[in-house]
Amino acid sequence: MKTMHTSAVIAPISSNDHPEEKNNQGRVMEIPLHKIVPNPHQPRLQFDDVKLAELAESIKEHGILQPLVVTKSGADTYEIIAGERRFQASKKAGLKTVPVLVRDATEQEKLELAIIENIQRHDLNPIEEAKAFLRLQDEFGLGQEAVAKKMGKSRSVISNTMRLLHLPIEIQRAVSEGKISEGHAKALLSIENPEKQRAVFDLIIKEELTVRETEIKVRSVAVGSHIRSSIVLHPEIISRTEHLTEILGTKVKIAPSGKGGKIMIEYYSPEDLDGLLRRLEE
């Protein structure tokens, strides 16, 4: 993944800042923990208690090696931009103050930086990533290509990750909790019917299916669901459809009818449609 430095998403320091605040911009300083508040845009929803306790022990012994990045949020308070896990571990370690780097950031930049930090540290599970990308798209009006550029990922990766949010909530929860992998979840997306998705999901859990075994099971279900007027899609066509879905980064459906049929390609915003049309024209 292409690395994006924090400076790429942090707004320049405003010349309108108060002198005492401007003097603190861009330098490391010690701030009492009680003056720091969590980032409301934090995309990470789950913290591993064991790993958090291990980090707290490390902080007790070695201190905080990398300052938190914060922004001024009130007369005497600071909001975390990056370093939520270090903040939580510092409280467990009993620290009274922590080193911070004070920066200016817009609401969009706070979310972007929080996502980037977590992705680079591999701290987000696939569902958390998908929800974070969706927030960038919905709250700040960014198309998937714009999100992909900011995250240093391909548009198809962003799109395919966000598609996980189309799964039933209990399957999303299983991905978040690590009960099934992202590969299992993406295989289930090939099934349109939520009830059939749940049925295969139950088999994955009950029989401990591998991703490959799940894909085979999904294809057998998909073949059965594509019967139209005694027409059955050949498994090779289904495989090519799945490949096209990966290439375009959006869901592709085949709907047979008589000797012909339809190919349907989904898009989720005007920006996605524009990007999709450009790729089809190339």
Active site residues: 84
Within a 10 A sphere around the Cβ of 41, how many other Cβ atoms? 21
- Among candidates 104, 83, 102, which has minimal Cα distance to 27? 102
Residues 6+ apart with CB under 8 A from 20: none
Q: Are strands 28-32 and 97-102 parallel, antiparallel or unpaired?
A: antiparallel
Gap between the Cα atoms of 172 and 269, Å rounded: 23
Under a CB-based contact definition with an 8 Å cutoff, are residues 68 and 101 in contact?
yes
Question: What is the number of alpha carbons within 13 Å of residue 228 lying toward its C-beta?
Answer: 13
Through-space distance between the first and last CA atoms of the chain, rounded to whole angstroms: 25
- Among candidates 224, 268, 219, 220, which has minimal Cα distance to 241? 219
Gap between the Cα atoms of 110 and 266, Å rounded: 31
Q: H or E stretch including 60?
A: helix 49-62
Amino acid at 51: K
Within a 10 A sphere around the Cβ of 149, how many other Cβ atoms? 16
Per-position DSSP letters for 206-231, written without gaps between them: HHT--HHHHHHHHHHHHHHHT-BTTB
Q: What share of the chain is helix, strand, coil (3-state, %, to 5)?
A: 55, 15, 30
